[in-house]
Structure 1
């Protein structure tokens, strides 16, 4: 620790603010170069769902080209309820160009890029940013404010050991996240193959008949959701019953803490209210209408959510598939009508397929197997992230000497640190 010195981020790291690329020149070709904007930055990840592109022939040699390992931080609304909007680029995110109102951070001869990544992922940096934006009408941070962050910088040899530990945890989390994405895509493909394209086992002799959803195999039905499932609309308890200390049951008001499949629990409620049980489909009934997750435990739901449970035992995963198809496009139902909110009656009248029980049970088994793997990987990532988040501030501030420890020993330390507040799995 005697060799650690106090400095600022701007003194030791390379900070660059993005360029105002003219929207009129944007490309619509997804094979061109991605433009990385604030809307693409999540809480520790990049979301390329809202894509913009720049012609490939105009991108090369630009000082705004991004590299693997670069860290990006949103400058508009950088901190939201779900956390700090920052991410690290990986090779699969490239090529990409940096757009205005986003800062790129990169290491120098004094600091490793990976150490900067973990530093801005610390609670200390998040609190610093929160202090900058709290109470402002349009929350925004400047490059100079980012650069003014003060911290103690370890020697490069210590940085390397710290990064080796935290990067190993990040890599495990990222690998599991990618496996979850693949499983999600596989489940989606199976559902569409069987129930959209009607290439299900034994489909060869099936005749198609008209239905409100278009041609469907003979013997299948289209029914309102209320005929296939029970719907529970959320109702928000008074705010004084909320906490972030883990007291009571997890509470979800809307999609703020939705993941790709399961929500992350950050708020809790000390009084009973409208609830979702383990396995219920959580449906957002306020903008964005139709975003879905699965409850992984009993939780209290607020006004922005509904919980949906199949009336047929052993068909919950299939119901999830039906609803993902219905709400494939958020904020719209049926003929493209735009919805900013839907009530119980509207939700209950959403039309879904009802298929013969033998096929439904077979499909549910296939989809449930993938859902169970997704659940296991998600729980593993929660544990790894919890360990990382407990170790990170102690490592970047020198409270734990890692010079003689391996990854397994540090993970064991992380497990010990998290025991008093460990969540039940």
Structure 2
């Protein structure tokens, strides 16, 4: 086993940043190359500006956040991209950038902007040996690769669940040989009926305890979820948001404690974020959540809501932003199959859901390990012997 010496250098000694290239939406031609902006991939184009790997950081808008593209890429002018790696491992540099608060160097109040000349002089400590850089990068990449694999499996499972739901309850493919009858929603299998969303679950709104009362909030209290939490957490299953409320906050507000399995549905700003509660939760007033009735699975409600987004949005009102009211949410029309059909679907959907929830839990652990190791590896507090890298 061996480790190299570390040296203090300027960021510009390791890489050269270049401003990205303008590409108006109207000039974007469909192609294989991702167009990366300050928030990640914003489209695809027929041409590229950088070879793989392409590392960008947000230049304006979402400033400073690094993004790694492992293929040829068009770096948009809302980014700075690395034009030259100076005897450094690109993947190591990507992880190094994640430890730097590059947003601190942005200038401008209305639209903060990052200038490459302001970040090139940043002093940092790095391994002298490129082999140790690769060792560090390999350790962190192994964790990210496992996370990505789990994400891909979950994406496939979700596509399967949605395809089965559509086949059964939209296209009626397993029931084509049976009789059909007219309804206000078109032809449906005989024995099925048209109902309302309130026929499969209780619709519950939320509330916000007064922010002027600190005693209404708690570091570790009752989970309280906002639409912002679902914009950050893309998982299908959720246990809590960024903020918890206290028992007192729950009692003194319109928030309601809802059971495990409740399907959270954002009713405004925007309409349509959906997640399933892994435990008892509350929400703010930006939700119209659905507590499934007996013999109705959370996964069935989740997929039903996803398939009903357009109908729900059409019932929303408001001038500043659209919002679906609790009354309108209850009246959303749905096609109700016989209980036995729902039971069979529940068996399939809940089996897929349990696997998805398990993989999401595994990813949470892997991300925690990665985020704990990242600053320690990048500071040299933990060293990775080169020989141990597979």
Structure-1 separation of matches of 2:328 and 2:351: 31
Pairing of 1:132-143 with structure 2 (within 5 A)? 132=105, 136-143=109-116
1:60-99 equivalence runs, <5 A:
64-67=49-52, 69-78=53-62, 85-91=65-71, 96-99=73-76
Aligned to 2:12: 10
Which 10-residue stretch deviates more, 113-122 or 172-181?
113-122
1:231 corresponds in structure 2 to 203
Q: Closer, same or farther in 2 for the Cα pair 1:315/1:299, shift >3 Å? A: closer
Match of 1:193 among 167, 187, 193: 167
Could you tell me how far apart the structure 1 residues matched to 2:388 and 2:66 are? 28
Write out aligned runs for 1:180-259 (5 A): 180-200=154-174, 202-211=175-184, 213-239=185-211, 240=214, 247-254=220-227, 255-259=230-234
Per-residue CA deviations over 1:98-124 (Å, capped at 9, x if unaligned) read: 2111222366243211111111223xx
Measured at CA, do residues 266 and 314 of structure 1 come closer, stay the same or move farther in structure 2, by a change above 3 Å? closer
**Contact 1:70-1:105 at 8 Å conserved across structures:** yes
Which secondary structure state, in structure 1, belongs to the residue aligned with residue 294 of structure 2? Answer: coil
Superposed CA offset, 1:109-152 (max 9, x none): 43211111111223xx24x42x3459933233233334344321
Shift of the 242–34 alpha-carbon distance from structure 1 to 2, 3 Å rule, reads farther
Aligned to 2:143: 169
- Identify unmatched segments of 5+ residues in structure 2: 251-255
Corresponding residue for residue 268 of structure 1: 243
Q: Aligned partners of 2:287, 2:297: CA distance in 1, in Å?
A: 21
Taking the TM superposition and a 5 Å limit, the aligned residue runs for 1:324-403 are 324-327=306-309, 332-333=313-314, 340-403=322-385
Is the 2:312–2:324 Cα contact (8 Å) retained in structure 1? Answer: no
Counterpart secondary structure, 1:256:
helix
Greater Cα offset, 225-234 or 174-183: 225-234
Farther off after superposition, 293-302 or 98-107: 98-107
- The alignment partner of 2:289 has SS state of strand
The one of 179, 183, 188 equivalent to 2:153 is 179
**Unpaired runs of at least 5, structure 1:** 409-425
Contact 1:105-1:113 within 8 A present in 2 as well:
no
Aligned partners of 2:4 and 2:127 also within 8 Å: no
Matched, 1:120 2:97: yes
Larger Rg: 2
CA apart distance, 1:314: 4.2
CA distance in 2, matches of 1:282, 1:148: 47
- Judging changes above 3 Å, is the alpha-carbon distance between structure 1 residues 263 and 136 closer, same or farther for their aligned structure 2 residues? farther
TM-score of the superposition, structure 1-length normalised?
0.79
Cα–Cα, structure 1 residues 179 and 390, in superposed 2: closer, same or farther, change >3 Å? same
Who is 2:127 aligned against? 154
* Count of matched residue pairs: 375
Partners of 1:266 and 1:37 lie apart in 2 by 27
Q: Once the 2 structures are TM-superposed, how far is the Cα of residue 301 of structure 1 from its aligned partner? A: 1.1
Using a 3 Å threshold, how does the CA distance of structure 1 residues 301 and 70 change in structure 2: closer, same or farther?
A: same
2:365 alignment partner, SS class? helix
Please say if residues 18 and 103 of structure 1, whose CA atoms lie closer than 8 Å, have aligned partners that are also in contact.
yes
